[in-house]
Amino acid sequence: MKIAVYSTKPYDRDYLTRANKDQHELLFLEAPLKANTALLAQDCGAVCCFVNDQLNAEVLKLLADQGVRIIALRCTGFNQVDLATARELGITIARVPEYSPHAIAEHTLGLILMLNRHLHRAHYRIRENDYSLNGLLGFDLAGKTVAIVGTGKIGTVFARIMLGMGCRVIAYDPYPDEALAQQGVTYKALDDLWPEADIVSLHCPLTPDNYHMIDDAALERMKPGVMLINTGRGALINTKAVVGGLKSQKIGYLGLDVYEEEADLFFEDYSNQLLQDDVFARLLTFPNVVITGHQAFFTHEALTTIAKVTTDNISHFEKGNLAQVCLVE
């Protein structure tokens, strides 16, 4: 099958080419998928997309008109897809349900340690020949309470890591995991997490119900100086509320791998341009904020699995083995 692969970076090209083993014709496109690039998928039965490609009704209709029958997401989350329209148009949506929960969970720990021990500041200080410790005082993670929102594949690995660090782990998930509870995780109602947590980490999908779950009201209930970490999806957090929380020092530390307006920024090099996003620019002024550009997934193991599952999804679809396709349902 001919596949239009949108938002291609050199690493996507490498890993997908290797996994494809000449099964499909891969048309690598650097452009992201949106209404004015959808026509690039002409003659393609399949489209392969990433997290910030637009899969709204307009784009899906354009793709369907050209004969696209399957969209293979090379990611886990599918909040960017208008599923009702895809269903109406008979377009199959496949994804990579699990590639490496460890990649994201370990990156989350990295953000926590970087913030907690001010490693980002220490790194630059030493390079400036400044060996003073003023302002670098950290705190032990052992004994602290970590609240995890969403204990699926990533949240589970992260919970085990934090239990291993000697933390108390509390969690909210509409479907609590009995095995995790037996390992020491205490499930609570979402609202009851906030007053107890020293660290809050988000690992749930973005849905219409939890859009801006972290808002002024949630922050109000949190401990002063709380550490907030988001490696889930940007719009789980109301960024303006969080900027307010940083200014008032309600939030002591903020670690982000995702940002609600990231589609206009992440994955590209804009170092020769002026930053136009004032909210993001404000975030960058705080010394207690660390941001990575949707990088948590980016390990060799994850890219290998993403490429294999993505090409397999399309091969199974082509052969009519729908049961083997990792469908978004």
As separate numbers, helices (DSSP H) first and strands (DSSP E) second, the chain gives 12, 12
- Please answer whether residues 239 and 266 qualify as being in contact, where contact means their C-beta atoms are separated by less than 8 angstroms: no
Q: What is the DSSP string of 307-324?
A: HHHHHHHHHHHHTT-GGG
**Residue 245 touches ligand NAI, criterion: CB under 6 A:** no
Query: Of 38 and 187, which CB lies nearer to ligand NAI in the complex structure?
Result: 187
Query: Of 251 and 296, which CB lies nearer to ligand NAI in the complex structure?
Result: 296
**Residue 208 touches ligand NAI, criterion: CB under 6 A:** no
Active-site choice (123, 262, 300, 301) = 262
> Which residue in the block uniquely carries the two structure tokens 């947590």?
197
In the complex, the smallest distance separating the C-beta of residue 35 from ligand NAI, rounded to whole angstroms, is: 24
Active-site choice (233, 261, 268, 318) = 233
| 58 counts as catalytic | no
The one-letter amino acid at 162: M
**Residue 168 touches ligand NAI, criterion: CB under 6 A:** no
Question: In b/e form, how buried is each residue of 96-124, taking b as 16+ CB within 10 angstroms?
Answer: beebbbbbbbebbbbbbebbbebeebbee
Is 273 strand, coil or helix? coil
For ligand NAI, how many residues bind (rule: CB under 6 A)?
31
Pairing state of beta strands 92-94 and 168-172?
unpaired
Query: Of 118 and 233, which CB lies nearer to ligand NAI in the complex structure?
Result: 233
| 262 counts as catalytic | yes
**Which among 123-131, 178-186, 247-255, 289-297 is the span making contact with ligand NAI, rule CB under 6 A?**
289-297
Site for ligand NAI in 95-124 (CB under 6 A): 98, 101, 104
Binding mask 41-80 for ligand NAI (x = CB under 6 A): -----------------------------------xx---
Q: How far apart are CA 288 and CA 255, in angstroms?
A: 8
Site for ligand NAI in 130-149 (CB under 6 A): 149
Binding mask 291-320 for ligand NAI (x = CB under 6 A): ---x-xx-----------------------
| 294 counts as catalytic | yes
> In this structure, is the dihedral angle defined by the CA atoms of residues 43, 47, 52 and 57, taken in order, positive or negative?
positive
- Please answer whether residues 203 and 149 qualify as being in contact, where contact means their C-beta atoms are separated by less than 8 angstroms: yes
Active-site choice (24, 107, 168, 294) = 294
- Please answer whether residues 170 and 146 qualify as being in contact, where contact means their C-beta atoms are separated by less than 8 angstroms: yes
In the complex, the smallest distance separating the C-beta of residue 327 from ligand NAI, rounded to whole angstroms, is: 14
Selected from 7, 20, 116, 151, the binder of ligand NAI by CB under 6 A is 151
**Which among 139-147, 167-175, 193-201, 321-329 is the span making contact with ligand NAI, rule CB under 6 A?**
167-175
Selected from 61, 64, 120, 152, the binder of ligand NAI by CB under 6 A is 152
- Strand ranges in the chain using DSSP code E only, listed in sequence order: 2-5, 25-28, 46-49, 70-73, 92-94, 145-149, 168-172, 186-187, 199-202, 226-230, 251-256, 289-291
Site for ligand NAI in 256-275 (CB under 6 A): 257-258
The site for ligand NAI (CB under 6 A) is made up of 76-77, 98, 101, 104, 149-155, 172-175, 203-207, 209-210, 231-233, 257-258, 294, 296-297
